[in-house]
Amino acid sequence: MTNIKKKDTKDFGQVFRERLIKQLDHDIKLNEGQEIKLRRNLIDIKLTKSNNDKKILGTINHHVENLKYNNFQDGIENWDEVYVTGLLNGYLVRTKILHDRQKRRDFFRPIEIMEELIK
């Protein structure tokens, strides 16, 4: 998520849930049943402390570089945040996850994983 203001952190769970649903609808075109199910399953989102995983920090830095490469340097207040996040969701991310019936993958596109989870 980009362009989060301090006032948004008061009810971050609600802000995150609405933004996630909006992003998924943009990226994979949710149908009404999928949106209802997501809203029900995401009812209890809470903030927690980060574990300062260096791989995640590396991914964030890589995304910053991708944004610079795509000329999104003029300030986040001017971004179409759903469009920009959609671009980032299409980039390969390195991590170890179980996928396709417990096969391990080192790289994935977040949008592909979300699409599989939604279906």
**Which tens digits make up the pLDDT trace of 81-98?**
888 888 888 888 876 665
Phi/psi at 18 (nearest 5 deg)?
-65, -40
Among 20, 1, 48, 18, residue whose Cα is nearest residue 117: 20
Instruction: Give me the pLDDT at residue 37, please.
Output: 92
User: What pLDDT does residue 14 have?
Assistant: 87
- Assess whether pLDDT exceeds 80 at residue 70: no
Q: What is the pTM of this model?
A: 0.73
Q: Among 88, 84, 86, which residue's Cα sits nearest to residue 62?
A: 88
Neighbours of 99 (CB within 10 A): 13
